[in-house]
Structure 1
Amino acid sequence: MTTLRLLSASGAVSDATLNDTGVYTCPTTPLQSRVAYAAAHVVPRVHADNTPGQPADIDWDATLAFRRNVYSWGLGVADAMDTAQRNMGLDAAATRELITRSAEVAREEGGSVVVGVNTDHIAESHISLDAVIDAYKSQLHFTEEQGAGPVLMASRHLARVATSADDYRRVYREVLSAASVPVVLHWLGTAFDPELAGYFGAADWQTASAVLLDIIDESPGKVSGVKMSLLNAESEISVRERLPQGVRMFTGDDFNYVSLIGGDALAPAAPLESPSAPEVAERTASTRDQAVQSAASGALDAHRGHSDALLGAFAAIAPVASAAIQALDAGDAEGYQRILGPTEELSRQVFAAPTFYYKTGVAFLAWLNGHQPAFQMVGGLHSARSLPHLSRIVELANASLALEKPELARERWHGMLRVNGVDA
């Protein structure tokens, strides 16, 4: 019996049996029942100066090989987003190069890629609304030129300068009007970025979601989906039920993705209910009436009953995520839950507070699974989690069969323990 050495927060050590990896196979046909993107990280060059404050020096071979591996499992890649350390080590020049290279790999692999569009190439911290619009458009046009799908990320610049919900409506209306292809809107919660407090003009999600839905309604045909990353299943389901027909909900909820993605394949859908905020009650009632009419005519949007996926967690567990969706494709909801269910506890550990350091866990698992030569990150972010925190990730990855090469993972983890003075 092969064992894993584990380290607790008290310094106590224990052993767990090393499990074999799950018997997962790459799909031979495209995944059908869900659209799923893994939000990918970047791998630094081992010998480069990727210390805090330095420009990102990326190992492009390893970074792009990771994306090819994601495609082999039938998943799409979401690139140049917060998982790739936007605003946490990935500078503007590296971001542009990443988008260009990732889009090229997607074409070579026949994969689907979406990339983040933001305003973060502007060095000034405070700029006008007009400058925010221009900055968004600049990155949007660059993304379109590369042939990647745009994800309109939440902008720190906009959060700083906006004084009302109307400011958000104006900015998004003008940026969406300039888009040549439909975009995904990204609502990133404060757990991921505290500087985005009050986004869409309100502190509570009920009021903010009404503004988001207004933005979508005001630009018909311009929005293909919404990625919600509030770590709040109630808010996601509420918005999902009110999206216009043809607009997908991409869950960014790394705490509750199993039930959100499974949706009505797992249990009867809950009835539509009005949000508690009076500002959106009238809108919800109207949408409920439209849903009832659509259901009666057989035209209810099938996407309302579940969320699709755009998750950093899926970059860490690509084979398991693929196997779970393959089970859904085969009509095996129990298999889906059996395969994916255990990974949610792992994801909750990776995304534990302070949540914005989750990238460390994603890179750590990539190293354990042999996708990068060293446990290093741009900006020195590999130091952002403690050894006991990483030990718990090892324990849960082993339990959920997310270690792709268990013996390699054991060897690397035990070597890391020894370097840190722990007997392994």
Structure 2
Amino acid sequence: MAVVNLPTGPLTLSGGTAWNRPTGPPATRIAYAAAHVVADPHAENAPGAPAALDWEATLAFRRHLWSHGLGVAEAMDTAQRGMGLDYAATRELVRRSAAEAAACGGRIVAGVATDQLPPGPATLGQLRAAYEEQLADVLDAGAVPVLMCSRHLAATARDADDYLHLYRGLLQASSRPVVLHWLGTAFDPALEGYWGSPDVDKATETVLELIDTDPAKVDGIKISLLDADHEIRLRRRLPAGVRLYTGDDFNYPRLIRGDEQGHSDALLGIFAAIAPAAAAAFAALDRGDLDEYDRIFAPTVPLSRHIFGRPTFYYKTGIVFLAWLAGHQRHFTMVGGLQSGRSVPHLARLIELADAAGLLPDPDLAAHRANRFFEVTVG
């Protein structure tokens, strides 16, 4: 038996669920998993140090996601943008991942931001130039750009007009449709008042005004506000052909399932942790088997809500811990030293929930690694 000696007592792991691997991407939805990066455990990777990655393990994880029919959302906040991953590493990450995607026919989008700028004030002109530099890098790599929210812009913009002026210029500068990005303060407190107002309804009107400028240049918008009802209202107001990519790691089954007036597609960090289950749920949805869809996703929701619990921006630690237990990497080390971002009790509960969801495919490996972790951390 594979027994984990949790701080609360022993837990016998049940083993992973043997889901069927799909033959291709979902037919009725577009689904991206925001992928984490694997640190080089022999490098510095301390807080403030340049990021050093284990490239083979990082790219192997992306191949794992593509093999389950999911697209990869590269260089997003799950990859520790603004929390350890500097822009030199980001540029190389996008280049390498896009080449892997082209080689295996996988779908890929990649984040465009302003994080090459130094901390502190920036002019709107400097912000436009920073965004355009990263936009060119992503387009040159062959990925679909995701115009990420910028901490610099949140600190600089005076009102909604500043956002509209800058983003309209970026839409014009892109040679292909982009994905817009709205990340809530639970994920990054520095984004308070994004789109020109702390009032979500007012900010929504600005977003819709931007999209109406040139809907053909907007593939979709990723919403990560953890407010399902708001997402549905916004989804119903989008122009035809513009997708709503849910980033709601609390309510994704309901939002992807949809209703008689439409559905959300997906760009989710939790999909990096639950890829086999997500692929099986999408296959059930494609067959029209909604009961099976609900059954598969149901045990993943408590896990996701735990991983993304407050402070939400440390969810990356849980994603990497689970990747280590599941055998996708050899160690539990993160760029920026972020392996310290969650407590021992939090990670112990994560093991219980991951096992209940059937997401530990090799229980003996998971138990061995978890026991070593708890021996070191709690004695």
TM over 0.5: yes
Map 1:219-238 onto structure 2 (within 5 A): 219-238=214-233
Please list every run of 5 or more consecutive structure 2 residues that lacks an aligned counterpart in the other structure: none
Deviation string, structure 1 residues 106-145 (Cα, Å, up to 9, x no partner):
0111100100000111115211112211211111111101
* Equivalent position of 1:287 in the other structure: none
2:202 to 204, 207, 219: 207
Shift of 1:85: 0.4
SS at match of 2:145: strand
Question: Does residue 1:368 correspond to 2:320, yes or no?
Answer: no
**What are the ranges of 5 or more consecutive residues in structure 1 without an aligned counterpart?**
8-12, 270-303
2:29 aligned to which of 25, 29, 34: 34
Larger Rg: 1
Write the distance in 2 (CA, Å) between the matches of 1:209 and 1:57.
38
Which deviates further from its counterpart, 232-241 or 389-398? 232-241
Q: CA offset at residue 168 of structure 1?
A: 0.8
1:406 Cα offset (Å): 2.0
Q: Which amino acid aligns with 1:28?
A: T
**Separation (CA, whole Å) in 1 of partners of 2:342 and 2:99:** 33
Q: CA contact under 8 A between 1:6 and 1:395: conserved in structure 2? A: no
Q: Residue 83 of structure 1 aligns to a residue in which SS?
A: helix
Please point out which of 211, 219, 234 is paired with 1:216.
211
For the residues of structure 2 that align with 1:93 and 1:386, how far apart are their CA atoms? Answer: 30
The one-letter amino acid of 1:167's match is D
Give the counterpart letter for 2:374 in structure 1: L
Match of 1:411 in 2: 368
Q: Map 1:248-397 onto structure 2 (within 5 A).
A: 248-264=243-259, 269=260, 305-397=262-354
Could you say what secondary structure the match of 2:329 adopts?
Answer: coil
Query: Displacement of 1:48 after TM fit?
Result: 0.9
TM-score of the two chains, using structure 2 as the length reference: 0.98
After superposition, give the CA deviation of every residue in 1:327-370 in whole Å (9 maximum; x if it has no partner): 10111111011001110110111011111000000000110011
Shift of 1:220: 2.7
Q: Report if aligned partners of 1:20, 1:406 keep a CA contact under 8 Å in 2.
A: yes
Provide the aligned length of Structure 1 versus Structure 2: 379
Aligned equivalent of 1:99 = 94
Task: Kindly indicate whether the alpha-carbon contact (under 8 Å) linking 1:71 and 1:111 is maintained by their aligned counterparts in 2.
Answer: yes
Q: Distance in 1 between matches of 2:114 and 2:171?
A: 14
2:215 aligns to what SS in structure 1? coil
Native 8 Å contact 1:262 1:307 kept in 2: yes
Q: Cα offset for 1:390? A: 0.1
Say yes or no: does 1:70 pair with 2:27. no
Question: CA shift at 1:307, angstroms?
Answer: 0.7
- Residue in structure 1 matched with residue 173 of structure 2 by the alignment: 178
Q: Indicate the residue corresponding to 1:85 in structure 2.
A: 80
Distance of 1:166 and 1:30 partners within structure 2: 39
Query: Quick one: distance in 1 between partners of 2:25 and 2:349?
Result: 34
